Structure 1
Amino acid sequence: MGIIDTSVLVIGAGFGGIAMAVELRRAGIHDVVVLEAAGDVGGVWRENTYPGAGCDVPSPLYSFSFAQNPDWPRRYALQPDILAYLRRVARRFGVYNLVRFHSEVTSADFDAETGRWLVRTADGTGYSARVLVPATGQLSRPVYPSVPGVDTFTGTSFHSARWDHGCELSGKRVAVIGTGASAVQFVPFLGQRAASVTVFQRTAPYVLPKRDRVYTERDKAILRAFPVLQKIDRLGFWLYTEFAQQCLSKWRFLSPLFSVQTRRHLRRSVSDPDLRAALTPDHQLGCKRVLFSNDYYPALASSTVDVVTTEVVAVTPTGVRTADGTHHEVDVIVYGTGFAATEFLGSMTVRGLEGRDLSDAWRDGARAHLGITVPGFPNLFLLYGPNTNLGGGSIVHMLESQARYVREAVRWLASHSDHYLDVRPEVEQRWDREVQDRLARSVWTRCRSWYRDAGGRVVSIWPGRTSEYRRHTRALRLADFRLGRVRTPSTTPEPAPVR
């Protein structure tokens, strides 16, 4: 099978991949291929179809600045509406024409002789690209609890990200392991349908009320007639999330403004003092993800739901065993145990200069300049890379900042065919040192969470505001890079886009 040439190869067709493809097309760069392992665009919003799945960032902000949507059904959009939005954007901007579906990337190797990346997919297809942009996200690979017996359960079990919609829940005893952002959304659904639900909680999360509302047809008509109102709405939400992010990272003396709301929400929702005590967090607000829900606490307080705070030590063929020796007989187990957020490129093998493996470069924790570039891996630009996630705010804003930065790199490379860009180690080290120093003074180092890797290093969170990050990524600084010389530059014309 031959090698398919392209200028830019994007891996993943979720929010990040779509943002990158649109940014390049809007800049007149059309020689782009997007590889997607699944059969449609959407990323996490295609995969997570569990009941109640939705976003806890307001819809006007959790959307592209270049594709505002006046037709959101509600302030906090649900999964079907977000997926439909992404499909519309992909169609509107021609992204579907660039995507090769069912193309799971297995390896990527940089060739210093030609200054190109050779990428292989699971079906054996090869691609040669000047620029490689992994946009695989941080929340795409489900993880299961590391307790014995997970594979021995004889009933029905599944992860929330792989929801079994064919599982009949009526009359069933259901166990839920994990109380993160997904569980907060699907536990109320289970409580209404199953005979009983046992929620195994390791750590009580902070839960804020979700100030949701339905957008009426009149609301939508007004937004369509006066687009400036939608921009004002978006601006208001952005300013609030910037304030929240600053409170978590720097203005920690203001965090009681939020913790007071969580205590009031718990007190109003749960009357049982014992249950309320079990649901009271024992860590600082913000060091784990703060959740939003109006129906989670009422669901836990219902007669069909029990909360167990004793540690799960094993899964048996017929249930779940806890550290106190109790065996909980159940028919169904739902794992709400999150994702491998610190494994940025999953099982993909990426080798840079001199064949160095990226997993070796990240042996002590993932790191990248601006969360985008890694020394020794030229012309590789990560989207949603290390330390670009947010404790408060919209990741879409961050992705747009990164896509614009990468666009400038692609432009420079297009006019300098005999060079490649390799970020200087001292530049990446200086950036990483600043980020980690700021994180050390923030709330995110105050407890164990999915923001941190096995060594305790915070590899997910950006410790500043999104406006600050946009300033850092506004311009490509050539002084930050070593300009490698391609020994055998291509003399062939730019290939046409692969359809």
Structure 2
Amino acid sequence: MADDVMTTDQVAQGAPVRASAKRGARGGGARRPVPRVPDHEVIIVGAGISGMGLAIELRKAGIESFQLLERADDVGGTWRDNRYPGIAVDITSFTYSFSFEQNPDWSRVFAPGTELQRYAQRVAAKYGVYPKVRFRTEVDKAVFLEDRDLWEVQLKGGERLYSRFLIGATGGLISPKKPDIKGLESFKGTVMHTGYWDDSIDLTGKRVAVIGTGATAVQLVPSIATKVAQLDVYQRTPIWVLKKPDAEIPTWLKSAFRTLPVLQKGVRVCTDVLSEALMVGAVIYYRQIPGLVRWAESAGKNNLLEQVPNDPELRAKLTPSYGFGCKRPTFSNDYFRTFTRDNVELVTDPIECVTERGIRTREGTEREIDVLITATGYRVFEKGNLPAFEVHGRDGRELGQFWDENRYQAYEAVSVPKVPNYFGMLGPYGLTGTSYFKMVEANAIHAVRCIKEARRRRMTRVEIGQGPHERYFLDVQRRQQSTVFVNHSCASSNSYYFDKHGDAPMLRPSTTMEMLWRAQHFPMEHYRFSRAGAAPEVGSQGRAAVAAA
């Protein structure tokens, strides 16, 4: 046996990869031979919330042979990367957290982003995720080796790792979208995207422009308006903004949560129900209960009227022309009011170009600035972002290309035919409206059920059948006919919910309860299980069948 090949027992028990294997072909050396057994039974790409959730579910199932590959130097994903002023959750913290790991110490009902990052770090430490993460490691490509039922994971720099199963857990908000504006490179001042916030830039007394008025800008604009000399906010599409029922959580209540965890679970149930009604009932079941959307639109207009009572022209500019839910709505008690400040201007005239000194609009006005902030969101369901690296399955199927050419589709948002032993944590029609954490928990259950079943059957390949996949996608499309996206004037929303095909593959057209139930009960017969030629079987102690032919 070669020095860089571990035994089946070592892999099944989660033994670390030998140093020679970890070096691989890094630095341009000779390509490492394909080993007889993989380095890990499972490789997870990404150590954000979804990667951590999958790792925890694997450990719960007794599966220890896995490794997370993370391009950055810490866990947390979006909450690690985003540090712009005012960042906070826009779903209550009681709901926006793992169901099995509630945090009694949130400072507010809607916690600031720094607390979410600390929460992620604490969860990673408590559940033993950190030792399983290989940081500063970026995946370039993954190729399924059909003759051995192995994934060859190619890293930037040339190294190759091998696993039986591959999990894509890179999240959706990882690729900031640069605005396509003429002259942007010519600007002589400071330019930064909210996704790459530079803490060293002091905005005090500066002339600042913000391009974009989505959920990020709603948090950012009020946070910087009080310190800058002048703030110009360039709006293409207004956003629905509801009142934010936010408040500090008193010390006595935190103590009660710690003493009686059931109390916090009760609060979570209440916030779950409210979030589900607004984000699922109103958006997903619009045709059945259109009154919820009408109520939300009325609440948004009332919020605008309360904050801007004396300027009907400004209110008109800030009022969306599309239906509530077509574009991601958000919550704020001071965003609209910010535009009544003397040093803040809402600019709705389209941008013609960026100049060396500022921004010129089509009407010919040039506003000079010192700092240009692009709050222009992220690439989401676009080739190159989901998946974030090339995923080559069998028979020449590359996942990103397949989705780009054939519409975004996946069985239960997790699996795609001809891409065996691969599970995506954020897939088409996968995100429930209430909380990203709920989707993570459901999809982790789904993936681990498949891996456990492969172990039980002593099989080395798991692949969703074409028939179940197609039937599921047809059902999703049928359900989409009841949503806001199909029925409620979304054409002018400029929403990242929609992809190049005109579909809205972000939100799952079902309740959260149904999503979790299906993850736990989908028929295992929908998957096909097979075995590579000479792979050893599972032993009496339930070790993984990880050896390849």
8 Å Cα contact 1:114/1:490 also seen in 2: no
**1:266 equivalent among 294, 299, 304:** 304
Distance apart, 1:397 and its partner CA: 0.9
- 1:437 pairs with one of 450, 460, 478: 478
Residue of structure 1 equivalent to 2:316: 277
TM-score, structure 1 length as denominator?
A: 0.95
Q: Which runs of 5+ in 2 are unaligned?
A: 1-23, 25-31
Higher gyration radius (CA): 2
Aligned to 1:368: 410
Q: Is the 8 A contact 1:159 1:335 kept in 2?
A: yes
Bigger shift: residues 32-41 or 269-278: 269-278
Q: CA deviation at 1:426?
A: 2.2
1:472 aligns with 2:518: yes
Distance 1:110 1:417 in 2: 19
User: Equivalences for 1:68-107 in 2 at 5 Å?
Assistant: 68-107=102-141
Query: Following the alignment from structure 2 to structure 1, what is the Cα–Cα distance between the partners of residues 271 and 234?
Result: 34
8 Å contact from structure 1 (residues 452, 459) kept in 2? yes
Instruction: State which drifts further: 337-346 or 400-409.
Output: 337-346
1:394 is aligned, of 414, 435, 446, to: 435
Aligned to 1:253: 291
SS in 2 for 1:71: coil
Work out the CA distance in 2 between the residues paired with 1:146 and 1:74: 37
Query: Would you say the 8 A contact 2:465–2:528 is kept in 1?
Result: yes
- Alignment CA distance shift 1:383-1:5 (3 Å): same
Deviates more, 1:116-125 or 1:274-283: 116-125
- Paired with 1:365 and 1:315, the residues of 2 have a C-alpha distance of 35
User: Which amino acid in the other structure matches residue 414 of structure 2?
Assistant: I
Shift in alpha-carbon separation, 1:347–1:394, aligned structure 2, 3 A: closer
Are the counterparts in 1 of residues 69 and 134 from structure 2 also a CA contact under 8 Å?
yes
Aligned pair partner of 2:535 in 477, 489, 492: 489
- The one-letter code matched in structure 1 to 2:520 is R
Corresponding residue of 1:330: 369
**Structure 1 residues not aligned, in runs of 5+:** none
Mapping for residues 231-242 of structure 1, pairs under 5 Å: 231-242=265-276
SS of equivalent to 2:407: coil
Match of 1:292 in 2: 331
- CA 1:389–1:321: 2 relative to 1, 3 Å: farther
SS at match of 1:381: strand
Deviation of residue 170 (structure 1)?
A: 2.1
Give the Cα separation in 2 of the matches to 1:236 and 1:82.
21
Q: How many Å separate the matches in 1 of 2:379 and 2:387?
A: 8
Runs of 4+ in 1 over 6 A off after TM superposition: none
Deviation at 1:411, TM superposition (A): 0.7
Q: Which moved more, 1:321-330 or 1:274-283?
A: 321-330
Superposed displacement of residue 127, structure 1: 1.4
* Distance (Å, rounded) in 1 between the aligned partners of 2:375 and 2:417: 36
- Counterpart-to-counterpart distance in 2, 1:136 and 1:490: 32
Counterpart amino acid of residue 179 in structure 1? T
1:412 counterpart residue number? 453
Within the candidate set 487, 494, 505, 1:459 is matched to 505
Aligned residue among 371, 378, 393 for 1:339: 378
SS at match of 1:107: strand
SS in 1 for 2:175: coil
* d(CA) in 2 for partners of 1:112, 1:95: 30
1:355 aligns to what SS in structure 2?
coil
> What is the rounded CA distance, in whole Å, between the counterparts of 1:304 and 1:491 in structure 2?
71
- Root mean square deviation of aligned Cα: 1.8
Take 1:313 and 1:114, find their aligned partners in 2: how far apart are those partners? 56
Q: Distance in 1 between matches of 2:519 and 2:244?
A: 32
Task: Report if the CA contact (8 A) 1:106-1:349 is conserved.
Answer: yes
- How far residue 490 of structure 1 moved from its aligned partner, in angstroms, is 5.5
Distance 1:382 1:347 in 2: 11
**Is residue 69–residue 138 contact of structure 2 (8 Å, CA) maintained in 1?**
yes
CA shift at 1:437, angstroms? 2.5
Displacement of 1:494 in angstroms is 5.8
Partner Cα separation in structure 2 for residue 217 and residue 125 of structure 1: 50
Q: CA deviation at 1:418?
A: 3.6
Q: Structure 1 residue aligned with 2:465, among 424, 427, 444? A: 424
2:157 matches 1:116: no
Q: TM-score, normalised by structure 2?
A: 0.87
Q: CA deviation at 1:483?
A: 2.6
1:101-148 CA-to-partner distances (Å, cap 9, x unmatched) read: 011111100111111111011132221111111111111110011222
CA contact (8 A) 2:190 2:371 kept: yes
8 A Cα contact 1:421 1:482, kept in partner: yes
Count the aligned residue pairs: 495
In 2, Cα distance between the equivalents of 1:490 and 1:459? 40
Q: For residue 454 of structure 2, give the secondary structure of its aligned residue in structure 1.
A: helix
CA positional deviation for 1:389 = 2.1
Secondary structure at 1:10's aligned position in 2? strand
User: Is contact 1:170-1:193 (8 Å) kept?
Assistant: yes
